[in-house]
Amino acid sequence: MPGKPWNRLRQRAKLLWRPPSAVSVVTTTTIETSKQIPQGLYVIFEGANPVVDILAVHGLNGHRDKTWTAANGTHWLRDLLPEDIPHSRILLWGYDSRVRGTPRVSSLNIEEHGQSLVSDLCLLRETTNTMKRPIIVVAHSLGGLIVKSALLHSDHASHGSLHPHRSITLSTHAIIYMSTPHQGGNGAQLGQMLANIASVFVPADDHLIRHLRQDSEWLKHLSKGYGRICDEFVTKFAYEEYETPTVLGHSLMVVPRTSAVPADQSDAEPIVIHADHKNMVKYSSREDDGYRTICGHIRLLISDSSEHVKSKWEMDSRIDEARHMTIHGDEFSLPLSLAGVCEAVRLIARKPELKQLHDLLSKAEARRIAILHGLGGVGKTQLSVAYVKSYEQHYSAVIWLNAKDEISLRQSFSQTAERILQHNGSLGYIRAALESAESEQILAAVKKWLDQPNNVRWLLIFDNYDNPEFGTNDAGDVTRTQSENKAPAGYDIRSYFPHNYQGAIIVTTRIPVTGVGEMLHLGKFQDISASLELLSLASNREEVLQDPAAIELVKLLDGLPLALSTAGAYLYQVSTSCSEYLELYKNYWLQLQRSSPTLLSYENRALYSTWDVTYAQIQQKSQAAAMLLKLWAYFDNEDLWYELLQTSTDGPLWLREITSNRISFDMTMRLICNHGLAEANSDAEYGAFSRGYSVHQCVHAWMKHALNPEPDVDLALIAVKSVAFCDSGSDGEQKRQIQRRLLSHAEICSAHSIEELETENIPLIYYHLGDLCSDQQNYEKAIKLLNKALDIHERRWGPDHALAMDLVLNLGLVLGYQERYIEAEDKHIQALRTAERLFGPNHERTLNIVEGLAVIYARQERFIDAEARLQQCLAGKEINLGLDDVSTFNTDNNLGLIHFHLGRYDAAEASFQRALRGKELLLDDGNISILKTIHSLGDLYKECGNFTKAKAYFDRSLSELEGVVEIDYVFSVDILTGVGDLCIQQGYFGKAETTLYHALEEAEKSLGSAHLVTLDAVYYSARLHMFQALYKKSEGMYMRALEGYKNKLGGECVSALKAKSGLGELYRRQGRFNEAADMLQQVLESREKVLSPSHPSTLTAINEIGLLFAVQN
CATH number at residue 559: 1.10.8
| % pLDDT > 70, the chain | 85
Structural element, H or E, at residue 174: strand 172-178
Domain assignment of residue 466, yes or no: yes
Q: pLDDT tens-digit profile of 74-124?
A: 999 999 999 999 999 999 999 876 654 443 334 347 788 899 999 999 999
Q: pLDDT tens-digit profile of 440-489?
A: 999 999 999 999 988 988 999 999 998 888 765 444 443 344 344 455 67
Pairwise pLDDT comparison (96 vs 355), residue with the higher score = 355
Specify which of 290-294, 315-319, 534-538 reaches the highest per-range mean pLDDT: 290-294
| Helices and strands, counts by H and E, the chain | 45, 17
CATH code: domain of residue 776: 1.25.40.10
Instruction: Using DSSP, state whether 50 is helix, strand or coil.
Output: coil
CATH code: domain of residue 432: 3.40.50.300
Q: What is the average per-residue pLDDT within 268-275? A: 91
Tell whether 496 and 540 lie within a shared domain. Answer: no
Tell whether 581 and 707 lie within a shared domain. Answer: no
Q: How confident is the model at residue 186 (pLDDT cuts 50, 70, 90)?
A: very low
Tell whether 505 and 536 lie within a shared domain. Answer: no
Residue-level pLDDT at 9: 24
| CA pair distance 418, 434, nearest whole angstrom | 8
Residue-level pLDDT at 747: 87
Tell whether 342 and 478 lie within a shared domain. Answer: yes
Domain assignment of residue 409, yes or no: yes
Strands 503-509 and 518-521: unpaired
- What are phi and psi for residue 90, nearest 5 degrees? -110, 125
Domain that holds residue 638: 622-733
Tell me how many degrees the CA angle 252-253-256 measures, rounded to the nearest 5: 155
CA-nearest of 764, 693, 766, 688 to 733 is 688
Q: pLDDT tens-digit profile of 220-259?
A: 677 778 888 888 999 999 999 998 887 666 778 888 888 8
Residue-level pLDDT at 500: 92
Residue-level pLDDT at 17: 26
Tell whether 241 and 279 lie within a shared domain. Answer: yes
Tell whether 729 and 767 lie within a shared domain. Answer: no
> Quick count: other Cβ atoms within 10 Å of Cβ 923?
14
Q: Among residues 816, 839, 862, which one ends one of the domains?
A: 839
Residue-level pLDDT at 907: 94
Beta strands in 274-389 (DSSP E): 367-373
Average pLDDT, the chain: 84
Tell whether 188 and 94 lie within a shared domain. Answer: yes
Q: How confident is the model at residue 547 (pLDDT cuts 50, 70, 90)?
A: very high
Residue-level pLDDT at 434: 93
| CA pair distance 805, 839, nearest whole angstrom | 11
pLDDT at 648 over 60: yes
DSSP 954-1004: HHHHHHHHTT-SS--HHHHHHHHHHHHHHHHHHT-HHHHHHHHHHHHHHHH
| CA pair distance 371, 320, nearest whole angstrom | 27
| CA pair distance 707, 634, nearest whole angstrom | 11
Specify which of 34-38, 777-781, 948-952 reaches the highest per-range mean pLDDT: 948-952
| % pLDDT > 90, the chain | 49
Q: Which long-range CB contacts under 8 A does 519-522 form with residues at least 24 apart? A: 519/371, 519/373, 520/353, 520/356, 520/357, 520/360, 520/370, 520/371, 520/372, 520/373, 521/373, 521/374, 522/353, 522/372, 522/373, 522/374, 522/378, 522/379, 522/380, 522/383
Nearby residues of 241 by Cβ (< 8 Å), 6 or more positions away? 272, 273, 274, 275, 276
Q: What is the average per-residue pLDDT within 410-425? A: 92
Strands 135-140 and 172-178: parallel
DSSP 3-state percent helix, strand, coil across the chain (nearest 5): 60, 10, 35
Domain assignment of residue 586, yes or no: yes
Minimum mean pLDDT range among 8-17, 108-117, 287-296? 8-17
| CA pair distance 901, 861, nearest whole angstrom | 8
* Residues forming beta bridges with residue 41, ordered by sequence position: 93
Q: How confident is the model at residue 8 (pLDDT cuts 50, 70, 90)?
A: very low
Q: pLDDT tens-digit profile of 480-520?
A: 443 444 556 789 999 999 999 999 999 999 888 888 999 99
Domain assignment of residue 464, yes or no: yes
Domain assignment of residue 375, yes or no: yes
Pairwise pLDDT comparison (690 vs 421), residue with the higher score = 421
Nearby residues of 186 by Cβ (< 8 Å), 6 or more positions away? 256, 258
Q: How many domains does the chain have?
A: 5
Q: Among residues 839, 864, 889, which one ends one of the domains?
A: 839
Q: Note the Cα 481 to chain centre separation in Å.
A: 41
Pairwise pLDDT comparison (487 vs 21), residue with the higher score = 487
Nearby residues of 78 by Cβ (< 8 Å), 6 or more positions away? 19, 20, 22, 44, 45, 68, 90
Residue-level pLDDT at 403: 93
Residue-level pLDDT at 737: 79
pLDDT at 18 over 60: no
Cα-Cα-Cα-Cα torsion 914, 917, 922, 924, nearest 10 degrees, comes to 130
Residue-level pLDDT at 496: 96
Nearby residues of 170 by Cβ (< 8 Å), 6 or more positions away? 132, 309, 312, 313, 316
Pairwise pLDDT comparison (547 vs 426), residue with the higher score = 547
pLDDT at 16 over 80: no
Residue-level pLDDT at 246: 72
Domain assignment of residue 693, yes or no: yes
Tell whether 375 and 491 lie within a shared domain. Answer: yes
pLDDT at 29 over 70: no
* Residues forming beta bridges with residue 88, ordered by sequence position: 52
Q: How confident is the model at residue 140 (pLDDT cuts 50, 70, 90)?
A: very high
CATH code: domain of residue 160: 3.40.50.1820
CA-nearest of 224, 228, 278 to 253 is 278
Minimum mean pLDDT range among 147-156, 391-400, 796-805, 1083-1092? 1083-1092
Tell whether 550 and 657 lie within a shared domain. Answer: no
* Residues forming beta bridges with residue 89, ordered by sequence position: 53
Domain assignment of residue 1031, yes or no: no
Q: What is the average per-residue pLDDT within 429-434? A: 93
DSSP state of 682: P
| CA pair distance 825, 842, nearest whole angstrom | 20
| CA pair distance 175, 519, nearest whole angstrom | 28
Instruction: Using DSSP, state whether 85 is helix, strand or coil.
Output: coil
CA-nearest of 208, 74, 56 to 146 is 56
Q: pLDDT tens-digit profile of 922-948?
A: 988 878 889 889 989 998 998 888 989
pLDDT at 952 over 70: yes
Domain assignment of residue 978, yes or no: no
Q: Give helix 380-391 / helix 351-361 axis angle, nearest 10°.
A: 60
Q: Among residues 475, 491, 521, which one ends one of the domains?
A: 521
pLDDT at 331 over 50: yes
CA-nearest of 85, 88, 95, 30 to 61 is 95
Residue-level pLDDT at 730: 66
